[in-house]
Copies of this chain bind each other. A is one copy, B any other.
């Protein structure tokens, strides 16, 4: 049963009972007027529920995980939260014991400022790695944000702006759907751009066979009533098919975080995993996560083309996933996409060196428009087809296309949402050592 989802304007304040704000508090310490948000990109966001909410999270499996991730893992043990405080400009990663103290202080100060009980605030950070947090600026920002909280779409847009780093624009989504006769709303904001190949789990520990590889941050709100365990299960499923399926550069961040708060204001009967309404909720959450995840790929650093890599016919999901990631992260494949070059030889080479078992004489490689079943094959059963170079060039010329790989030796499949590799990516990430504050995390 397909759930009818109605798109709504806005994002995290679309659900009832949520307020948001985004302010500029000079976290990069540019030395400009502290506390003034005139003309400067906002760098601290606050999202607050009017009432306690159930909460769930998914976090980077990077062993060098950032302090805010550790703090969220502590706080989420209770499965409840009421506020999220997030800064850009500093990742608070690789900052040792001081970093952990600072992340805890961000949470404590937010709770105190909003008169919430201890443990009610979750924390997120993104930006430069290895630099101590400017806590005076952070505290000033939290106070200003708390004073500026509001329920309008403009408030949510401020929060969406405040979490950005190298992104060129804010990423927001909101939907409305029916749940047991009640109208439920769900919204989210996210950021991405570089260091993007998340491999998140609920515990920060690596499951046996998950992807190994942004900082991407995503914050979702809903006025549905959802039990904490069911919320975590739904988020795990949604992330598995969205954020954990994207790659910009194959680098997994120290800070990847997805958080969701469900405050129950819709008045539905609280959802457990076996409740009849759970699939509807799952569909809405999955839709929001996939929409946001694909926005991250499209707005990836220097990205000029987005390619959905669809591998099928593999012996196992692990094989399909390995083949798809090898293609999606091959510098030679990515640069050929940038050049509009249908270089399927590089694709076959990447599949061949991946951890997936393949038989070269069985491999099919082809191209289609996004989501289309009309595939132009360049290779069938390991043999080049009669497709002309011109026709293949036309297939890879659009800004978005699908790449189809059929290994033809099994039944497993995997999809990865990938991007090309451009001079602009290199130029952006080589940084400017004459201006250390320009150097991204």
Q: Do B252 and A353 have beta carbons less than 8 Å apart?
A: yes
Find residues 309-346 in chain A having any chain B CB closer than 8 Å to their own CB: 330-332, 335-336, 338-341, 343-346
Q: Do A352 and B426 have beta carbons less than 8 Å apart?
A: no
Q: Do A254 and B352 have beta carbons less than 8 Å apart?
A: yes
Q: Looking at the complex, which one of B93, B331, B428, B429 makes contact with A345 (CB distance below 8 Å)?
A: B93
Q: What is the CA–CA distance of A429 and B439 in the complex, to the nearest angstrom?
A: 26
Q: Looking at the complex, which one of B128, B335, B359, B439 makes contact with A430 (CB distance below 8 Å)?
A: B335
Interface residue? A393 (CB, 8 A): yes
Interface residue? A406 (CB, 8 A): no
Interface residue? A384 (CB, 8 A): yes
Cβ of A195: which chain B residues have Cβ within 8 Å of it? 332, 346, 349
Q: What is the CA–CA distance of A428 and B358 in the complex, to the nearest angstrom?
A: 29
**What is the distance, in angstroms, from A269's C-beta to the closest C-beta of chain B?**
41
Q: Do A382 and B96 have beta carbons less than 8 Å apart?
A: yes
In the complex, the chain B residue whose C-beta lies closest to that of A93 is: B345
Using an 8 Å CB-CB cutoff, how does the interface string of A232-255 with B read, 1 for contact, 0 for none?
000000000000000001111110
Find residues 421-441 in chain A having any chain B CB closer than 8 Å to their own CB: 421-423, 425-433, 436, 439, 441
Q: Do B426 and A343 have beta carbons less than 8 Å apart?
A: no
Cβ of A254: which chain B residues have Cβ within 8 Å of it? 345, 348-349, 352
Q: Do B212 and A94 have beta carbons less than 8 Å apart?
A: no
Q: Do B251 and A431 have beta carbons less than 8 Å apart?
A: no
Q: Do B350 and A251 have beta carbons less than 8 Å apart?
A: yes
Q: Do A353 and B212 have beta carbons less than 8 Å apart?
A: yes
Interface residue? A357 (CB, 8 A): yes
Q: Do B383 and A96 have beta carbons less than 8 Å apart?
A: yes
Contacts A93-B345, A339-B431, A384-B94: A63 and B426 contacting too (C-beta < 8 A)? no
Q: Do B431 and A421 have beta carbons less than 8 Å apart?
A: no
Interface residue? A64 (CB, 8 A): yes
Q: Do B355 and A389 have beta carbons less than 8 Å apart?
A: no
**Residue with the greatest number of chain B CB neighbours at <10 A, chosen from A338, A352, A383, A431:** A352
Q: Looking at the complex, which one of B250, B350, B433 makes contact with A340 (CB distance below 8 Å)?
A: B433
Q: Looking at the complex, which one of B95, B383, B433 makes contact with A393 (CB distance below 8 Å)?
A: B433
Interface residue? A360 (CB, 8 A): yes
Q: Do A94 and B436 have beta carbons less than 8 Å apart?
A: no
Q: What is the CA–CA distance of A379 and B346 in the complex, to the nearest angstrom?
A: 38
**What is the distance, in angstroms, from A359's C-beta to the closest C-beta of chain B?**
8
Tell me how many residues of A have a C-beta within 8 Å of chain B: 74
Interface residue? A199 (CB, 8 A): yes
- Chief secondary structure at chain A's binding surface: loop
Interface residue? A82 (CB, 8 A): no
Q: Do A429 and B62 have beta carbons less than 8 Å apart?
A: no
Q: What is the CA–CA distance of A424 and B200 in the complex, to the nearest angstrom?
A: 33
Cβ of A267: which chain B residues have Cβ within 8 Å of it? none
Interface residue? A416 (CB, 8 A): no
Cβ of A363: which chain B residues have Cβ within 8 Å of it? 64
Cβ of A436: which chain B residues have Cβ within 8 Å of it? 389
**What is the distance, in angstroms, from A17's C-beta to the closest C-beta of chain B?**
37
**What is the distance, in angstroms, from A305's C-beta to the closest C-beta of chain B?**
11
In the complex, the chain B residue whose C-beta lies closest to that of A389 is: B436
Contacts A345-B129, A346-B129, A423-B423: A352 and B393 contacting too (C-beta < 8 A)? no
**What is the distance, in angstroms, from A150's C-beta to the closest C-beta of chain B?**
35
Cβ of A194: which chain B residues have Cβ within 8 Å of it? 332
**What is the distance, in angstroms, from A36's C-beta to the closest C-beta of chain B?**
27
24 A–B contact pairs at CB < 8 A? A63-B352, A63-B358, A64-B349, A64-B358, A65-B352, A93-B345, A93-B349, A94-B360, A129-B348, A194-B332, A212-B355, A250-B331, A251-B330, A251-B331, A251-B332, A252-B349, A331-B331, A331-B425, A331-B429, A335-B428, A336-B431, A336-B439, A423-B426, A426-B426
Using A251-B332, A336-B429 as known contacts, list a sample of 13 further A-B pairs with CB atoms less than 8 Å apart, ordered by residue number in A.
Answer: A60-B353, A64-B348, A64-B358, A64-B360, A129-B348, A195-B332, A251-B330, A254-B352, A331-B425, A332-B429, A335-B425, A339-B429, A343-B431
